[in-house]
Each structure stands twice: as C-alpha cells, then as structure tokens.
Amino acid sequence: METVTWVVVAVAVLLAAAWYLSYSAARLDRLHAQVEGSLSALDAHLVRRAEAALELANAGALDPASALLLASAASDALERTTDRLGDDDLLEGQHFGGRESVESDLTQSLALALTPDIVADIVARDGLAADALDRLEAASRRVQLARRFHNNAVKDVQRVRGKTVVRVFRLAGHADLPQTVEFDDELPVLSAVAGPPS
Amino acid sequence: MRVGIVCPYSFDVPGGVQFHVRDLARYLLAAGHHASVLAPADDNTELPDYLVSCGRAVPVRYNGSVARLTFGPVTAARVSRWLSDGNFDVVHLHEPVTPSASLLALWAAEGPIVATFHTANLRSRAMQAAYPMLRPSLEKIGGRIAVSEEARRTVTTHLGGDAVVIPNGVDVAAFASATVDPRYAGTPDRPTVAFLGRIDEPRKGLHVLSRGFEEVLRARPGARLLIAGPGSVEQARERMTPSVAAASEFLGLISDADKARLFASVDAYAAPQTGGESFGIVLVEAMAGGAPVVASDLPAFVRVLQPAPGGEVAGVLFPNEDGANLGRCLVALLDDPARRADLRTAGHRRAASFDWSRVAKDIVAVYDTVTNTGGW
C-alpha cells in the first residue's frame, strides 16, 4: 500500500514536471516567433521608408546637394537590407545585422534635408514629391512603432530565457539570444502631418 | 482588414472606454475595414450592428470604483466563439488587465494582438498578486498603446517594456458645429457653469465644485450650475449647502447632441476631478464645443490643456481638491468676457489635435505594424 501511494505520487510529480516543461517550451517558442515577426515587420517598414526617401530625393523637389545626401543614405539603407537576407545569416533573422548606424544616418539625413520650409514647399506644390513625402511620413511612423514593439518582445524573451528551468533544460535550444534594436528613429518635422500631441 | 475589438465595460453605461471603442469601430467601418466589437450588454437593449454581446455585466468593485464587467465560464465560451467566428487579422483589446472579456480574449486569442491601456491607476498590489498568472498572456500582446503619458508610465512600471502614446479621439466637427441652446445659455445676471460625470462618484469631484460654487453664488447670486450625469440626485442635493442645491439643475444622463449644445452654450465648464483620470476626454470635448475649461491640475488634465510646459494654457487650472480656489477661478472667468473668448479660441485649436481622423490613422498604423510579418 505504502509503495503504491509513493508510486502514484512520483508519477503525478513527473507528469506535472513534464507538463510544465512542455508549457515553458511552448511559451518560449511563441515568444521567439513573435520576435521574428516583429523584426521582419521592422525590416519591411525600414525598406518602405528608404524607398520613399529615395523617391523623394529623385522627385526634383530638393536642391541637388540635399538630394544627393538623401539618396546616398537611402541607398545605403536599401543595400544593407539585401545583405542581411543572404544565406550567411547564421542568426536566422533574430538580430539586426548591425544596420543601426545606417538607419540612424538615414534618419539624420532626412532631418537635414527636410527643413520646415522645404516641407511646406513640397506640400504646397502637391506633386510626385508630396506623394513620396506622405509615404515617407507613414513609413517613418511605422518604423517607430515596429521598433518599440520589437524591443518589447525582445525583453520578454530575454526575461523568460533567464528563468532557471529554461536554462537548466536548455529549452531555447541553439537559438541566439535576441537583442534590442537601438537607433535614431525620430520623425522628420513634417508640418502637414505632425505626430500625435504629447 | 478584419479587426476584432474587445471592450471590458458594459455598453449600457456611458464611459470613456466605451465611447472610444464605439467611435473607433465606426471609423474603421467607414474606412472600409471590417470591425466587430465584443462587449457586455443587456440582452434587451438595442445593439448596433457591429456589437456582439458577451453577456450581462455585473457590477463589481475593481481598481477603486464600481465597474460593470463580465467574466466566468459562459463569457469565456462566448469569447472563444466570437474569436473563431470572426477570423480576425488583428484583435484589439481594451484594458486587458481587468477581470473581464478583454482578459479572457487575451487568454484565448492567437495571432496579432494590440492592447490599449486607458487607466493611470492600476493597483500595484492586485497586479503583483496576479502577475505570475497574467504574465505569459501579456507576452502575447504585439503592440501596446497607452492613451496618455500617465497611462504609459503605469504600463512601464507595472508591466515593464514600453507603449506608444495615442490619445483618445474626439469627433471635433460634431462638437464644433453645435449651436447655442437657450436652456443652457447664460445671461450676464444668470451665468451658467456645467459639470459632467457620475454625481455619486467621489473622484469625479462634485463635492469640490459645490464648495467652489458657494463663492460663485456670493459674487453672482443668479448663477446656475448645470449638472449632467447619472447618479442619485437626492443624495447629491443633501451633500450640498441649501444655496448651491437651489442653484443646481440636474440634467441626468444627456444625449451626445445635448452634450455638444451644453458645451456650446455655457459660460464655463468645470472639471473638478480629484484623481484617477488618465486622459480627460471630456476636456477635449468641452474645448471642441467651445466651453471655457476650468480644471483641477491633475497631470493628465495639465497635459491636455498645456501641451508644452510653460506654453499657452487652453484653460484655467486650479489646485486639486481646492474648492475655494476653483470658486475664485470661476468668478474671475465669469467677470471677464474677453478671457472667455480667448479660451474658446485656444480650446478649438487644441482640440483639433485630438480629432478622430488623426487618432485613427495612428491606430491603423499600429495594426499595420503588428500584422506585418515581413514580405510585401
């Protein structure tokens, strides 16, 4: 009788432990998927931002020097994107491949090229450039959102992966620990489409 | 895009979250999206097409005030059915940390989730007690929105991580086009001051205003206090001095159209709330409608009235809970027509930044971001 009770207790404990392990693994898996999703969203919006910037540079609304500055920053950003999607990306899309500086450069070039006067001029003329400006604003806003949401997801993964059960049982497998993405994503000052009041 | 919105509070009772959800759903539908709202509602009330009821709400005390919420296994089943029938691209939960349909939906939903945090006063003790259970669910939220800096600070303190601030929206045009109503309009001898909010909820601050109104009556014996909002009128009258009670007119729950006319007509709108306000949408509505605003200096109110520190204030601020000071502010405002006109202009200008067209665009940007799984 004694032995039977012990066996039952032991089996119950084992089952509970097994359930907890598989639950933790599933939770971690979901978090990893979320990080990958948010990173690819960030990537997509960055590409859109760079394309809109390139289009704006070529729309003839800027002076040649500003246009060149913007075009070169935008094409740098676009080039880095294709780099990262290559076969030698060993981190399976879980990191940002050192693109931070390129994206910060684009943000700063936008701030330099798009002074309030020039923006007002583009909006007033309402042509190809105004169209590109609209898309640039939308993409820049979404880049801001995507980066914040991605960093939230990364922090969740980092926290869960710090838990003892995850470390001891190696529930994360060989997946790299994702890192937050930090770069300057301030919106350019677009008078016509100012961000929400804060 | 197919959007499923969950509102934790009953649509039978007016409230900031409910209005926000209703207006968001209408905007999304008008913009050609599919939107469905899941919220508690009485079975015998007339429901708009986009609303699905998740059962009758029961009044519960939560987070310092009485809220009408639904929970339990029946609600959980209805939530799951709504989720699987809806086949949503994105599920947008409001106030996910309440014992409500929002939390149940967070539990059950798979796929992209956006959550909006409205409150600025989460009880940290309750949060900590339930945290280990809530955390895995909260991790599923792909995009967090806070309606104000205060709400955002609550999110970062209690949940960690960050949230983007997108304020509540107001249909500015609807308020701005309201006309003056003789029922509410003041005359030089009988100026009118409006109050909106539940009259038996202490943190709405009617007691502060009724203290302040004694001062107003001393200066302007004919002044009228127009009080709009649900609650027991007898009890509210008993708590007032006889003179204030005599000068008070209780309008009960008023329609949106009447609310807009009220703001267009009165000489001042008083917001004496003592706390627990995260955003103060009613301030924006008052400004859009053209009422000069006198508000307590809660951080949320300061931010609405004064966007830049040290900059223009689109209203009058008084020290929180200081009824006498509120009274003096009101008297000064009633004595100064030029100041009132200035405040009306400043208020219109300030309210424009909270227009739905602008706010909804930002919310859709959040949907885009969380649903975008790369590739395009």
Strand runs labelled E in chain B = 2-6, 34-39, 51-53, 58-62, 65-69, 90-94, 113-117, 143-146, 164-165, 192-196, 224-228, 248-252, 268-271, 293-296, 316-318
| pLDDT for B201 | 85
Clarify whether residues B256 and B279 are in a common domain.
yes
pLDDT tens-digit readout, B112-140: 999 999 887 666 666 667 777 888 888 89
φ, ψ for residue B164, nearest 5 deg = -95, 145
Q: Is A151 on the interface with B (CB under 8 A)?
A: yes
Asked if the C-beta of A144 comes within 8 angstroms of chain B's C-beta atoms, the answer is yes
The beta-carbon neighbor of A142 closest among B353, B354, B369 is B369
For chain B, what is the mean pLDDT? 89
In-domain check, residue B376:
no
Say whether both B162 and B38 belong to one domain.
Answer: yes
Same domain, B201 and B103: no
**Testing the interface with B: which of A32, A48, A152 to mutate, by most B Cβ within 10 A?**
A152
pLDDT tens-digit profile of B51-75?
A: 998 888 888 777 666 777 888 888 8
Please state, in angstroms and rounded to a whole number, the distance separating the CA atoms of residues A155 and A162: 11
pLDDT (0 to 100) of residue B185: 93
**Residues B165 and B232 grouped into a single domain:** no
Does the pLDDT of residue A86 top 60, yes or no?
A: no
- The predicted pLDDT at position B374 comes to 38
Q: A40: which chain B residues are within 8 Å (Cβ-Cβ)? A: 372-375
Assess contact for A197 and B353: CB atoms under 8 A: yes
Rounded mean pLDDT of B296-301? 90
**3-state SS string over B259-293?**
HHHHHHHCCEEEECCCCCCCCCHHHHHHHHHCCCE
Q: Do B254 and B228 touch, CB atoms closer than 8 A?
A: yes
The structural domain count of chain B equals: 2
Residue B347 belongs to some domain of the structure: yes
Alpha carbon of B142: minimum distance to chain A alpha carbons (Å):
6
* pTM attached to this predicted model: 0.78
B94 and B202 belong to one structural domain: no
CA distance B267 to B255: 20
pLDDT (mean) for B263-272: 95
SS3 B367: helix
To the nearest whole number, what is the mean pLDDT of chain A? 83
Task: Give the closest of A44, A156, A196 to B167, CB-based.
Answer: A196
Residues B141 and B195 in one domain: no
Residue B367 shares a structural domain with residue B321: no
Q: Looking at the complex, does the CB of residue A28 fall below 8 Å from at least one CB of chain B?
A: no
Confidence (pLDDT) at B59: 82
Lookup result for tokens 């202009």? B345
Q: How far is B373 from chain A (nearest CA, A)?
A: 5
Strand pairing class (B2-6; B224-228) = unpaired
Residue A82 confidence (pLDDT) above 60: no
- Per-residue pLDDT, A81: 62
Between A27, A45, A151, which is nearest B369 by CB?
A45
Rounded CA separation B93/B38 (Å): 10
pLDDT digits (tens, 9 = 90+) for A128-147: 888 999 899 989 999 999 99
Other residues' Cβ atoms within 10 Å of the Cβ of residue B339: 14
Give yes or no: residues B255 and B349 share one domain. yes
3 state SS of B51:
strand
B79 pLDDT more than 90: yes
Q: What is the pLDDT of residue A192?
A: 41
Q: What is the mean pLDDT of residues B94-104?
A: 88
Domain that holds residue B322: 172-353
d(CA B8, CA B21): 10
Do B336 and B226 fall within a single domain?
Answer: yes
Residues B94 and B243 in one domain: no
- Asked if the model's pLDDT at residue B261 lies above 90, the reply is yes
Select the residue of A48, A149, A156 nearest B143 (Cβ to Cβ).
Answer: A149
Task: CATH number of the domain at B122, please.
Answer: 3.40.50.2000
Write down the pLDDT at residue A197.
38
Q: Are residues B190 and B116 in the same domain?
A: no
What pLDDT is recorded for position A195?
Answer: 39
Residues B121 and B223 in one domain: no
